[in-house]
Amino acid sequence: MVYLAIWKKKVIVQLQIDDYLAINSVIFFDMNYAPHRRYYTLLFGKIGIRKRKAARIFQLRSPNQTILDQFLPGTSNPAPKRFKRPYKTRVILPPVPPAFRVSVDYTALQAYSANSGYLDHLFQFNSLTFWEELQMHSPQTAFYTQMPMADVFRLEMARYKLGIRTYEAFIRELTHNFALLRAAQLDPECIPSPSQYGQLVAHLGSDNIHTYFRQLVQECIHLKLIDCKVVIWDGRFLRSYCANNKNKQLNAFADQEAGLYKHIGKFYGVGYLDSTIVCAKYHLPVYYESFPANRNDNPIFRATFQHFMELVPPAPRILLADAGPYSKTSLKLVRSYRIVPLIFARKNCKGTILKVAERKYIQIKYVPPEMVPHLAGLLNLRPDIEKQFSPAKVCYHADRMINRGRENAAINIGKLKCIELLTALTAVKVHRLDLINSPTAFRAYHPRYSTRTLLNNKSDNEVALFNPLKPESLFV
């Protein structure tokens, strides 16, 4: 026997054991009819269908109507406004060029999630016009007669992607790997020596790299990769290329502009601090500066934040930081820009300190009341900046300088920020949003062969004619 219950055009079928005995009988229940519902409940019990509740009708209060607050002495505090969390906005996907859309690379990127792109995509979808125009008006034009500035910057981006630490190892890789030369779009005749290459990199200039970085940030803002609704500040130690012992005669380190870094009673070495402000949406950098490592976090934070606000970025709503820059001066400075400062406080600090979670304390004097119930969720965003710092050591091997001086420190930090933004922009332009924060994306190069592999397939006479500085001689 089949019992068929009909409720608002939804059919619920109840099958009994009699169905398997070939007894064809159907009993219908109209669930909109009260007697049928009661009888169905007696047979089978409730079926879990909730009756829709009528919507509440809000009526406007008449101006002549009195309210309870009018009978209370004094003025009552109004109810706090509802806090609206800074929700993420969707990323704008630019159209894919038609020539690339019909290529095998695009098909492989869309069909296989394990495919992380190639190194030449990094330069194919991002413009280096800034460096090409800069060389025409730059005072360092005399240094770039053999190799243009755009090629030097492109090679540095490739070196970071491959995780090669020294200039010597990178020049050796360029000499013996023809596929890398093709991916970096470099003429084999223009490969310099390691010392010449180091001078070319140093003459790029920290100000020029910072200007190009700002262009990349503006492009990320246009594509909504960066919205600056929630920004995070933190510092990272960058060790200089010098010994940690002072010269007794000069009473200074080998790098006189660097400082000895100490954190929680432990000395880490001589170097600089990478002061960075990150957008919490995809933890991409929006501003950076370098300072000697022996300076306190409070002046570093205030200087970085003021310079960041002078660039007129999208107005942030919330700023997150650890307990390093906590002070009344820093809190008032951030609040003067109408930004909520969520800077971790210490347990024994003066003022109204609220314990949000284990070892998480916040000074709520500058926090709106409607935001207090949501502090635990907002403070969980602060470790996102560690995701931005970790690839420098793990993937790019850029946790230690290969030169000295604050200018070189700013250059190294700026190149690291540029490669992160270029990776994110390339991931959006090839429609692979999962590669935005992948430091190993766009790292491989194709075709996958090197000069060593080709030498094994050549005769002795052909190998003798091979010029290491001209890998294309293998194809003659």
Q: Is the pLDDT of residue 302 over 90?
A: yes
pTM, whole model, 2 decimals? 0.76
Residues 282 and 138 in one domain: no
In a domain, 69, yes or no: no
Averaged confidence pLDDT in the chain: 82
Cα 439 from Cα 423, distance rounded (Å): 7
Residues 227 and 353 in one domain: yes
CB 344 within 8 A of CB 321: yes
Residues 228 and 185 in one domain: no
Residues 38 and 130 in one domain: no
Domain count for the chain, please give it.
3
Q: Would you tell me how many other CB atoms lie within 10 Å of the CB of residue 41? A: 11
Q: Is the pLDDT of residue 376 over 80?
A: yes
Cα 272 from Cα 59, distance rounded (Å): 64
Least confident of 7-11, 31-35, 91-95, 333-337: 7-11
Q: Is the pLDDT of residue 217 over 60?
A: yes
Residues 414 and 399 in one domain: yes
Residues 282 and 394 in one domain: yes
Residue-level pLDDT at 82: 66
Residues 415 and 430 in one domain: yes
Residues 257 and 279 in one domain: yes
Q: Which two tokens stand for residue 447?
A: 């075709």
In a domain, 219, yes or no: yes
Residues 172 and 309 in one domain: no
Q: Is the pLDDT of residue 463 over 50?
A: no
Q: What average pLDDT does this structure show over 16-25?
A: 53
Count H helices, E strands: the chain? Answer: 17, 11
Residue-level pLDDT at 471: 47
| Residues 152-193 pLDDT 10s | 999 999 999 999 999 999 999 888 888 888 888 888 888 889
Q: Is the pLDDT of residue 456 over 70?
A: no
In a domain, 222, yes or no: yes
**Residue 308 belongs to domain spanning:** 209-435
Give the CA-trace dihedral at 362, 375, 288, 124, to 10 degrees. 170
Cα 62 from Cα 132, distance rounded (Å): 70
Q: How confident is the model at residue 354 (pLDDT cuts 50, 70, 90)?
A: confident
Higher pLDDT, 299 or 68: 299
In a domain, 106, yes or no: no
Residues 351 and 227 in one domain: yes
CB 164 within 8 A of CB 176: no
Residues 243 and 342 in one domain: yes
In a domain, 282, yes or no: yes
Residues 133 and 235 in one domain: no
Residue 298 sits in a domain of what CATH number? 3.90.350
Residue-level pLDDT at 208: 93
Residue-level pLDDT at 85: 67
